[in-house]
Amino acid sequence: MSANDDRDPLFRYDDPVFADERLLEITHLPGPDRIVGRDEQMQRVADALNPAIFGSEPNHLFIFGKTGTGKSLISRSVTQRVITEAQHDDVTVKYAFIDCGEQNTEASIVKTIAQLVNDPDQSGVTVPDRGLGTGDYYKRLWQAVDHCTDVTIVILDEIDMLEDDEVLRKLSRAGENRRISDSSIGIIGISNKIDFPDHLSERVKSSLSRDELVFSPYDANQLVEILEKRRDAFHDGVLSDDVIPLTAALAAQEHGDARKAIDILRNAGRIAKKRNESQVTADHVRDAKEKTEADRFNELIEGSPQQAKAILYSLTLLTENSSEKEFPTKIIYNQYKEVARQLDFDVLSERRVQEILQEQNFLNVIQSEREGRGRGRGAHAKHRLLENPSIVKKVLLRDSRLAVLEDDE
């Protein structure tokens, strides 16, 4: 009788492909020996946070770089090492990692930081999910920070998505304004928009002294090494010889996105397992690339208004049916009017369509650039997709209201 004979037969208890799939999860924090090509950046982050080891205020730091260049990974990894080293000096360091794409209001950010660092037995306060105003959440945050930590490191991923940057001013000046007296706060802001600081309010610019660091994209060789460091996520012999080089090459085609490379590798393994195949091959990788791109685009547009999807669909049609890749707002608007008619949508004004395109650019769904028309003729915006149009169309047509467009093709 095997160990699994008394288990529910609905589920699988052996995995012929993965030895430890967690190594391929985005939330997994690898050890320093698995981090590739970021020694200089790691040292710069360590230099900024070094004072925290001794209970002093760390330097604030803004980190810029494209998606998948290791910004969040290095920030979390170095912070975790600071926490460990500080313990040798009886210094308590805690950190709060916040995705501002999901939590972008002042109240939600302050509440989350307080919940992550608070110990009610030490602070004497609790931090409820709801029921308090922003000012009350700040009061509980200051109590939690002062009583539960010597240093709090706040990592704000996608900091450019903040609804209000006032939270940066209040966090950075908490000690100076005597909100806290026995602790300090350091801020790491992460963004793929290098001009983000230009859009901060003057009050924040004057109060938030910081270092800045840019992460360059990984090259194909570095991506190969990153994936090799995760080979043990699979059983021995499962990966065919060409899987890792192909995965790295596909991810390097755009801008050296390690996150995308790891996603493709994981999805390739899942596809092989779903097909009951014992080896992951190049065919699985190619199928996984399409799935990965569709999943990521779906995440970007999830919850988008249907009018925005109709505008994106219009840009997709133009891209598919032209040798051009960039289109001015006027051309997109003309195509959109036809799409809106097919969908029986109210037709928005050209100005509103331009605003929605700008919003999609801000969300990294598309890329928009302003081009001059010549002396005295002003400038206009041109817009392009960032994903393969076939992928974009497939995802957009998942919306039941837009699905009718597939029948009209």
Contact criterion met (CB below 8 Å) for 365 and 309: no
Mean pLDDT value of segment 396-406: 89
Contact between 106 and 163 (Cβ < 8 Å) = yes
Average pLDDT taken over every residue of the chain: 91
Q: Containing H/E element for 406?
A: helix 404-408
Q: Is 38 labelled as part of a ligand binding site? A: no
Q: Which residues pair with 328 in a beta bridge?
A: 382
CA distance 322 to 262: 33
Strand partners of residue 383? 327, 368
| pLDDT band at residue 376 using 50, 70 and 90 as cut-offs | very low
C-beta of residue 240 within 8 angstroms of C-beta of residue 17: no
- Residue 357 CA to residue 272 CA, distance in Å, equals 38
| Residue range 299-353, pLDDT digits in tens | 888 888 999 999 999 999 999 999 999 999 999 999 999 999 999 999 999 999 9
Mean pLDDT of 231-245: 96
H or E segment at 195? none
The C-alpha atoms of residue 313 and residue 323 are separated, in whole angstroms, by 17
The structural architecture, per CATH, of the domain 38-215 is: 3-Layer(aba) Sandwich (3.40)
Measured in degrees and rounded to the nearest 5, phi and psi for residue 378 equal: 75, -155
**Residue that the structure tokens 């997109």 belong to:** 332
What's the rounded Cα separation, in Å, for the pair 173 and 117? 18
Is residue 378 over pLDDT 60?
A: no
Q: Quote the CA–CA distance of 50 and 406 in Å, as a whole number.
A: 57
Q: Which of these, 65, 388, 24, lies nearest to 255 by C-alpha position?
A: 65
Cα 392 off chain centre by: 19
Residue 372 reports pLDDT greater than 70 = no
Binding site annotation covers 375? no
Q: Does the pLDDT at position 288 exceed 50? A: yes
Q: How confident is the model at residue 2 (pLDDT cuts 50, 70, 90)?
A: low
Is 218-300 a domain of CATH 1.10.8.60? yes
What is the per-residue pLDDT across 69-78, written as a single tens digit (0 to 9) for each? 999 999 999 9
What are the pLDDT digits (tens) for 34-70? 999 999 999 999 999 999 999 999 999 999 998 899 9
Q: How far apart are CA 127 and CA 383, in angstroms?
A: 44
Write down the pLDDT at residue 71.
96
Q: Which segments of the chain belong to CATH 1.10.8.60?
A: 218-300
Q: What is the DSSP string of 125-192?
A: ----SSS--HHHHHHHHHHHHHHH-SEEEEEEETGGG-S-THHHHHHHTTTTTTS-SS-EEEEEEEES
Q: Which CATH architecture best describes the domain 303-408?
A: Orthogonal Bundle (1.10)
Give the predicted TM-score (pTM) of the model: 0.84
Start and end residues for every CATH 3.40.50.300 domain found in the chain: 38-215
What would the pLDDT profile of 157-171 be if each residue is shown by its tens digit? Answer: 999 999 889 999 999
Residue 116 among known ligand-binding residues: no
Q: Rounded to an integer, what distance in angstroms lies between the CA atom of residue 228 and that of residue 363?
A: 32
Residue with tokens 């919306």: 399
What's the confidence (pLDDT) of residue 175? Answer: 87
> Is 281 labelled a binding residue?
no
Mean pLDDT computed over 113-135: 94
Query: Which pLDDT belongs to residue 379?
Result: 59
According to the model, what pLDDT value does residue 407 have? 65
72 is in an annotated binding site: yes
Q: What is the pLDDT of residue 380?
A: 77
As annotated, the residues of the chain forming the CATH 1.10.10.10 domain(s) are: 303-408
For residue 207, say whether it is annotated as part of any ligand binding site.
no
pLDDT in tens, 174-228: 988 889 998 999 999 999 888 888 888 888 888 888 999 999 999 999 999 999 9
pLDDT of 373 above 60: no
pLDDT score, position 110: 97
Q: How many other CB atoms are found less than 10 A from the CB of residue 278?
A: 12
Residue 1: what pLDDT? 46
> What are the tokens at 29?
């924090």
Determine the pLDDT at residue 375: 47
Q: Which two tokens stand for residue 211?
A: 């270092």
List the strands of the sheet with 327-328, edge to edge: 327-328, 379-385, 366-372
Give pLDDT, residue 99: 94
Residue 287, pLDDT > 90, answer yes
% of the chain with per-residue pLDDT over 90: 72
**Is 269 annotated as a binding-site member?**
no
